[in-house]
Structure 1
Amino acid sequence: MTWLETMSLDLQIFGFRALWSPYYFLFLLAIAIAYYLITGPMREKFGAEDQPTVRQQIGFYIGLILLYIVKGSPIDLLSHIMLTAHMTQMAIYLLVVPILIIKGIPVWIWKKVVYAPIIRPIFKLLTQPIVIVLVFNLAFSIYHMPAVFDFTKSSPIAHSSIAIALFILAICMWWVIYCPIKELDRLNPLLKIVYMVAHGALITPACALLIFTGTPQFAAYTSEGAWIQAMALCVPADVLNGISGDLSGPEMFSPLSTMDDQQLGAIIMQTVIQFVYAYVIGKVFFAWFKKGSGKIDPIPTSHISS
C-alpha cells in the first residue's frame, strides 16, 4: 500500500463533513443553478438577449468544480495538515479559478456588477495596474507571514474573510489582462507583459523566504495546539473533540518532514506562478504579434519585375 493510500485511509477518521464539505457543495451548486437560470431561461428578465457561448458556460462550470476541489474536497483538509497542499490550493484558487470566472460570466452581467454605484469606484481603483500589482502581492505576502498565517488558522472569521478578500483581489488582478468589457480594456499588450513580469518579480520573495529559511515558519504545522485549532476550521467540533486525544500533529498524516513540506510547498507555488504567468505572457505576446502581422501590407506583385 502506498503512502497516499495510507493517508487516504487515515483521513477517514475526520468524517464525511470534513472531507467533502457538503454545505459548501450545496452553496456552489446554488451558484451553478443561478448562473444557468440568469443566463438562460430568465435572461430576458434581466435585459439580456444573448446567451453565453458554450465555451463560456464550460469555463464557468469548470471554475466552480475547481473551486470545490480546492476548498471543499479532501484537499482543503490536507491544506491544514501540509503546507504543500495549502500552496497547491492557493495556486489553483488564485491563479486559475479567477480567470475561468472572468471569462465565463457574460459581459452584460459584468457591466451590471462593475458599473453599480457602490462597486464602481472601488473596482476602478483596484483594477488600476500599479495599484493591484502592489495590493495583491502585498496581501499575499502579508498573509504568509508566520504571525498572520497562524492567526488566520486559529480564527474561522479571519480565515474566511482573508480567503474571500484574496479571491476578490485575484479577480481584480486578472481583470487587467482578461477584461471582458472593451471600453475598460485600455492596457496595450506590451504593458500587459510588463504588468505580468512585475507580478512575477514581486511575489517571488515570499516564496523564496520559505524555501531558503532554515527553520519551519508556521506554528499551525508544527505546534500541536495551534494545529488542532487549525483543524477546527474544517473538522466539526464534535468529531474533533472525539479524536483529539489520538492526534499528535500533522506528521501523523504526512510522509514529509515539516521542513521538507515547507520547502516543497513554496517550490510548488513558485513553479505554478511562473508557469501560469509565462503562459499568459506568451498568449498576450503571440496575439499581439498575430494582430500586428495581419496589418502588414503584402508586396504588390505588379511591382515585381519578371
Structure 2
Amino acid sequence: MLGLQYFSFADLWSPLFLAGMLLVTAAYFVLIGPLSSRFPGAAPVSFFRRTLFVCGMVALYLAQGGPVSLLGHIMFSFHMLSMALSYLVAVPLIMLGIPDWIWRAALKVNPLRRLSFLAHPVVAALLFNGLFSLYHVPVIHDYVMLHFTVHRLYYMILFLTAALMWWTLINPLPERKMASGLGKIGFIFLNMVLLTPACGLIIFAGEPLYATYSDPDAWAKAMGYCVSGDPAALLKAFGGPTFFGWLSPKVDQQVGGIAMKFIQEFIFASMLAYVFYHWYKKENGQDDREDSGASSGLEGVV
C-alpha cells in the first residue's frame, strides 16, 4: 500500500524514536503517580486527561516517526498531514493532558519566566504561523529537508511555538487571567488568516515548488535521513518519488495545501464554536443575574 512494502520495519516505525516517546510517556505517568507528592498542590489526574496525553503522544509519534513521517518524505500531501498532526492535533492534546500543578512547577524555572512575553497571543500567533509559512518557502523547505540537523531543530522550534500559540486557547493555569470570549474568537480568526497565504501559494502554484518531491536526486538525499541504506540505491531502485505516488507532483502539492487548510479550518472552526457557545452562555448568565438583581431591587422599593 502506497509503496510501504518496499521499506523495512525500522524504516516504517523508527524504533529509536518510538523508544524515546515511550520513555517520555512513562516519565509522565511516574510524575503524576509516584512522584506527584513532590509537587505542591498535586491532585489525582483523571483518566480522561491521561487519555488525552497518550493520544497526543501517539499522534506525534505517527507524524514524526511512524509511517506518516516516511510517506511525508515521498508525497507532499502526507508531509502536510504530518504537519497538521504534529502541531494542530498532538500539541493541544499533550498540553491538555498535563495537569496544572506540573505546569506551575515548570513555569517557576527562571529562563521560562523571562520568556513569558512569547506567550502573548499576537506574538505567539505571529511566531508559529510566520515560521510555518517561512518553512514552506520553496528554497527554505528544500534546504531544511536536505540538512538533517537543521530539519530536527526547525521542527522542535515549530513544536514550541505551536505550544505558545495554543496556550491562549487552552490556558492550562485557571488562576491566570484568561482572554475574554471575544478575545479568543479574534485570536482564532487571526490564526486562520495568517496561515492562508502559505496555503494559497501552495494550492495555486502553476508548477511543483519543491525539489524534494519532484527532483529525483534531491528526493533520494532527503530520503537518506529517514531510511536505512544508500540513497543512490533508492534512486536506482525507484527512480524518484513518482514511483510511489498516483498523483503528479503538482496535484499532490495542491492536495497537500488543501488538506492543511481544511484540517486547520476544521480544528479552529470547532474551537470557535466551542468558545462562542460558552461565551454566549456566560453573557446570558450575567444578564440573567443582572435582571434578577434588578427585579429584587424593584421588589424592595415597592
TM-score by length of 2: 0.92
> 2:257 is aligned with what amino acid?
A
The 1:140–1:43 alpha-carbon spacing in structure 2 relative to 1, beyond 3 Å, is same
Q: Aligned partner of 1:187: which letter? A: A
Q: Does 1:65 align with 2:58?
A: yes
Whether 2:193 is the aligned partner of 1:218: answer no
Contact 1:82 1:261 in 2 (8 A): yes
Could you tell me which runs of 5 or more consecutive residues in structure 2 were left unpaired when the two chains were aligned. Answer: none
State the Cα distance separating 1:86 from its structure 2 match. 0.5
Shift of 1:13: 2.4
Distance 1:223 1:104 in 2: 41
CA distance in 2, matches of 1:196, 1:185: 18
SS of residue paired to 1:60: helix
Stretches of structure 1 that go unaligned for 5 or more consecutive residues are none
Relative to the length of structure 1, the TM-score reads: 0.91
Q: Secondary structure at the match of 2:8?
A: helix
8 Å Cα contact 1:14-1:240 kept in structure 2: no
Contact 2:220 2:232 in 1 (8 A): no
Structure 1: how far apart are the matches of 2:20 and 2:232? 27
Which position in structure 1 is the counterpart of 2:172? Answer: 180
Deviates more, 1:144-153 or 1:285-294: 285-294
Equivalent residue, structure 1, for 2:20: 27
Structure 1 106/214 Cα, relative in aligned 2: closer, same or farther at 3 Å? same
CA deviation string 1:259-306 (max 9, x = no partner): 000000000001111111111111111011122222314666998xxx
Choose the corresponding residue for 2:197, options 194, 205, 218: 205
**Kept after mapping to 2: 8 A contact 1:133/1:173:** yes
Residue of 141, 153, 158 corresponding to 1:149: 141
1:247 aligns with 2:222: no
SS at the partner of 2:7?
helix
> 8 Å contact 2:39–2:105 — kept in the other structure?
no
Quick one: which amino acid aligns to residue 292 of structure 1?
E
C-alpha displacement at 1:215, in angstroms? 0.7
Residues 200-223 of structure 1, C-alpha deviation per residue, up to 9 Å, x if partnerless? 111101000111110100000011
| Contact 2:79–2:256, Cα closer than 8 Å, also in 1 | yes
**What does residue 256 of structure 1 align with?**
247
CA distance, structure 1, for counterparts of residue 215 and residue 90 of structure 2: 32
Distance in 1 between the 2:114 and 2:190 partners? Answer: 24
Question: Alpha-carbon deviation of 1:106?
Answer: 0.7
Match for residue 5 of structure 2?
12
Structure 2 residue 144 is matched with structure 1 residue 158: no
Output aligned runs, 1:1-306, within 5 Å.
Answer: 5=1, 7=2, 10-122=3-115, 124-236=116-228, 238=229, 240=231, 242-295=233-286, 296-297=288-289
Separation of aligned partners in 2, 1:18 and 1:30: 20
Pairwise CA distance, 1:163: 0.7
User: How many residue pairs end up in the alignment?
Assistant: 294
Q: Is contact 1:15-1:239 (8 Å) kept? A: no
- Contact 2:144 2:150 (8 Å CA) reproduced: yes
**Identity percentage over the alignment?**
34
Check whether the contact 1:126–1:132 (CA below 8 A) recurs between aligned residues: yes
Measure how far apart 1:48 and its partner are.
4.9
- What is the letter of the counterpart of residue 70 of structure 1? A
- Measured after TM superposition, the shift of residue 246 of structure 1 is 1.0
Paired residues of 1:176 and 1:185 also in contact (CA < 8 A): no
Q: Answer yes or no: is the 8 Å Cα contact 1:19–1:77 preserved in 2.
A: yes
- Say whether the 8 Å CA contact 1:126–1:172 is kept in structure 2: yes
Distance in structure 1 (CA, Å) of the matches to 2:124 and 2:31: 30
AA partner of residue 93 (structure 1): S
1:33 Cα deviation (Å)? 0.8
Counterpart residue type for residue 263 of structure 2:
V
Structure 1 Cα separation of the partners of residues 119 and 172 of structure 2: 13
Deviation of 1:243 after TM superposition, in Å, equals: 4.0
Structure 2 letter corresponding to 1:91: A
